[in-house]
Every structure is written in C-alpha cells, then in structure tokens.
Chains A and B, each alone.
Chain A
Amino acid sequence: MTSMIDLEAVCARSENVVAREIEEEILIVPLAAGIGDADDDLYTLNETGQAIWQALDGQRSLKDVAALLAARFNAPGPEIERDVLGFAGELVRRGILVTRP
C-alpha cells in the first residue's frame, strides 16, 4: 500500500501509539493491535526521525515542518522536504501517524 502523502498534508501522532522518551531515545509503543508486523513490535526513531517527530504538532503542514527544520539545521530545503515526506509516508503506512483533513 502506498500512502498518498504530499507536502500540503498535516500529520499527527496516532492515538493508537504512545511515544516515550527513554535515555534520550524516542520509543514508540503500540497501544492498539495492528500496529507493526508482530504483536510485540516497538519502534525507535533515528536522529532525523526524532527531529521530524518533535516538529510534527498536528497543525503544521509537512511543508511548514520542513521549512522549520531547514532553518534549524541550516540544511537545503529540498533535501529536508524529501526526508519529511519519506518519514511521514513510512509512519502513516505503519499506523504510527495519521493524516489530518
């Protein structure tokens, strides 16, 4: 299944997961069945993922999230947009993020 996500999309954390910060790592723990491939899957985010996760507030569009991070990391906009899109697509597919209308 390919999720149709574009930069205009607004993404929020799904209510079916809990995110915890342990030892400076973000751990995503499924709350409801059906997240992940196995019943006991947990997830951690890589460094890029953590930065994007923290910037997703359920209000900003992915474009705004990318702009925010590009300014913060002083990094080229298109590259960051690619990361934000890739991240959101992956997490929506896994049911960790949901898109807001």
Chain B
Amino acid sequence: MSDSTYVVRRKPDRTPVSLDVGPRLKQLDIELTERCNNRCIHCLINRPLSDSSAQADEMTTAQVVHILRQAAGLGCAQVRFTGGEPLIRTDFQDVYLYARRLGLKVSLFTNACFVTPDVARLFARVPPLVPIEITVYGMTRESYEAVTRSRGSHESFRKGLDELLACGAPFVVRWVVLPPNRHEIPEFEAWAKTLPGITAGPAYVLMLDHRSRRDDPEKNRVIDTLRLSPQETLAFLARDETKYRHGMAEFAARFLTPPGDRLFHCGAGHGVCIDAYGRVQPCMGVRDPALTFPLGFPEKTGSDGAQAETPAGPDSENGGLTLAQALDRFRRLKTLAAKHPLYLARCARCFLKGLCEQCPAKSWAEHGNLDTPVDYYCQAAHIQARYLGWLSENESGWDVVDGPERIKKWVHALSTEGNR
C-alpha cells in the first residue's frame, strides 16, 4: 500500500463538472436576518434594524445550528451567510464558529459596519476559508451615505475594514454601481488594488434586481430609476475594450447556445436557500410561494442544535421539511419547462441566453412568475451583441439560427488578431 504523498492539498472551490456527482447538497445559503443597519436606496431585501416583529420571527440560534448540522450530514462543504446584514445578529459569532467546527467553509456577505475587534480577531483565528465579501457604496462619506441613508455608516464601514486589515483577515470588495457613486469608480479601483489579497480586479454589481419579496412596488419604481441604461451598462463593461472582448470570447465559447424550453439551467435543485424565518427555497431570488416550504425544527432543539425530543426522527419535525426532503422536492425543477408564449418564441430560441442572465429568479422579482422574459436584461444583452458584431442592427437573438457559428467565427477572428 505504498504511496509517496499521503495527503493531497486541494483548493476549496473544486466544483464538480457535472452537478450529478459529488455531495447531495452543493450549496447552502442562509439569510440570517432581513434587517440591516443601512437603508440602501437600491436594496432588494432590507428591513429596518429596529423592526422588532421581523426580529421576533427570525430563526433562533438553535434552529440555525440545526440546519447547519443537517447540511454537513448531506455533504455540504460551504455555507453562505447573508442578509440583510448578518453581523447585526448578536449570536453571529456562535453560529459562525459552529459552522466552522462542523468543517464547513463560510462565505459571508457584509457591509462591514459591524466588524468589531472581536469579530475581526475571530476571522483571523478561525479563518472562514473563503474571503469575506464586503460591499462598498462610496469612497467618501457623502456618496456612501447618499446610498446607505444611514448617518455614520461610512465611518463604521471604514472602522470595520481597518479591524479586518489589522488582523489580516481575508476579504474582497465589490462595488454597487449607483448614481451617487458612479463618478468614483476609478478611485475605487485604484484603492482596491492597494488592499491585500485582491489579485483580480474588484467585483461590481451592475444590474439591479427588483425586490425579490415583491413586497414594495414603490421601491421597485425607485430601483428602475437607479438602473444603468443598456448603453451605460455597455459603456461600463467595455471601458477596457481589449479585456472586455477577451473576457467575452472566453464566456461566449462556453455559454452561448439556444437553451430550449427548460426553465432552470443553473444549480437549482442542488442547493437551497433558507430565509431568515426558516423557510427553504431553491435559491435567493426565487421566492415563489409554490416553491417555498417551512423547514421543520424539533420542538426542543438544544443549544447545540441536537434534537432533544424527536422520537420519530428528523422527518417528522412539526410538519416542516428536512433539508433532505426539500432537496427531493427541488429535484423536479430541472424538468420544468417554460410556458410563457414570449419565452417560447424568444428565449427558448435565443443564443444570447447566458449573456442576458434571464432566469426564473429575475422573472419572479420582475413579473411574479418564473418565465416572463425581463426586458431590462434582454436589452442589455442585445446592445452588447450588436456592439460585438454578433447581431446586425435589425436582428434579435431569437431570429438568428446560426448564432453559435457566428460566435465561433468571432472568437477565431479575435484570436487571429491577437496572434498578429
């Protein structure tokens, strides 16, 4: 039984090529709260920090722990904690440590305002194994707080960041492109380069989604006014022309083919998202009540998440589902077909699917069903395709039968140009 190396170092993000291999639960997202210290103008989820009724409905520590234990049992390797602002939960450190002790990597989406010295030290001592993702809303107090509408938030954010830097905790930054901060993007990029551990360029949130709870039409109207126009989106993406074209070549070769009428092309059915109130849904965006189920929790869940009194086992927890049962229900998502006539006439035949990010979550937020195409994303995809020469001015993605061949030729031409 001889071998020269007994232990193999492995990068954590070894995503299986096929979704059908590997552990049963591939991704777990937990929204620890919908509340947030900020009131961002574009936010698709937030509720006020002081919303005591939302707080009262949130999962308890023991319930979160119960979910984490089930996820680890299903082979899940990573949990993402998000919100709202996950760090406002007073039990965040307990929940985080519990996840790490189960051997889960932790990814965290935060605005960093609540990173205290204690929290930063914890991240340094027990690293999350995935860089913390910090969203940045502006480079100055004026722009930052014009987005967050929360006085003092810029100072809290800077302090939180300094704590992480002082402890050497790993993080990356991303920027939400919004009217109050658009002019600061070059400054943001230059600053991001000075941060440790940021090797590639920073990430951007460019295209704003509507409220996924569909709870606030007025807020959606505001979000519409904050969105970049398709032309502005293109101008941003192509600001470094060479990088943009080469990035598109790589992307296009892999993702641009007409998809047919299958509705879910993503990992839905292989991962789950748990909302702040203990309901399970296929992903963060799809909050269709028909696909959202209450999770079951044992009546008496010990503080370590152990089921104290469940003689009938985890499948009969107060009528709610276990994670395994939820996964079984979500398996059928892969077989769902789109029915909306516009989807069938357009998206099902369109080689730009992949570029437009049209997906059931977008349709849900925008139209309240899973398959009405969303114009905003459609236009942004078309303007890019025309700019790149994949479509002529009068063509649409669904008219073109030789889309994949056009892309192949375009990629070939680009690489010959690059070799000259």
Q: Which residues of A contact B (CB under 8 A)?
A: 18-20, 22-23, 27-33, 36-37, 39-49, 51-52, 69, 73, 75, 79-80, 82-83, 86-87, 90-91, 94, 96
Contacts and interface: CB of A to CB of B under 8 A. Distances in A.
Interface of B is mostly: loop
Given A39-B170, A40-B11, A75-B1, A90 B75 contact: no
B133 to A, nearest CB: 14
B102 A46 contact: no
B205 interface: no
A48 B3 contact: yes
A19 B72 CA distance: 12
A77 to B, nearest CB: 12
Contacts of A43: 7-10
**Size class of the contact patch on chain B:** 20 to 34
B264 to A, nearest CB: 24
A27 B103 contact: yes
A83 B3 contact: yes
15 contacts: A18-B100, A20-B103, A27-B77, A27-B103, A29-B103, A39-B170, A40-B129, A41-B10, A43-B10, A44-B10, A48-B6, A80-B1, A83-B1, A90-B5, A90-B6
Interface of B: 1-3, 5-12, 22-23, 72, 75, 77, 100-105, 124-127, 129-130, 170
A90 B10 CA distance: 16
B29 to A, nearest CB: 19
Given A51-B1, A75-B1, A83-B1, A32 B126 contact: yes
The DSSP consensus for interface residues of chain A is mixed
A31 B122 CA distance: 11
A91 to B, nearest CB: 6
A28 to B, nearest CB: 7
A22 B6 contact: no
B10 A23 contact: no
A85 B72 CA distance: 32
Given A46-B3, A46-B5, A31 B10 contact: no
Contact of A22 (B2, B3, B23): B23
A71 B7 CA distance: 23
A33 B1 contact: no
Contacts of B125: 32-33
A47 B126 CA distance: 29
Contacts of A73: 1
Contacts of A47: 1, 3
A53 to B, nearest CB: 9
Given A27-B103, A40-B11, 19 more contacts: A19-B103, A22-B23, A22-B77, A29-B129, A32-B125, A33-B124, A33-B127, A40-B105, A41-B10, A41-B11, A43-B9, A48-B1, A49-B3, A51-B1, A52-B6, A79-B1, A83-B3, A83-B6, A96-B7
A92 to B, nearest CB: 11
Contact of B6 (A19, A42, A75, A87): A87
Q: Which of A47, A48, A94 has the most CB of B within 10 A?
A: A48
A29 B10 CA distance: 10
Contacts of A87: 6-7
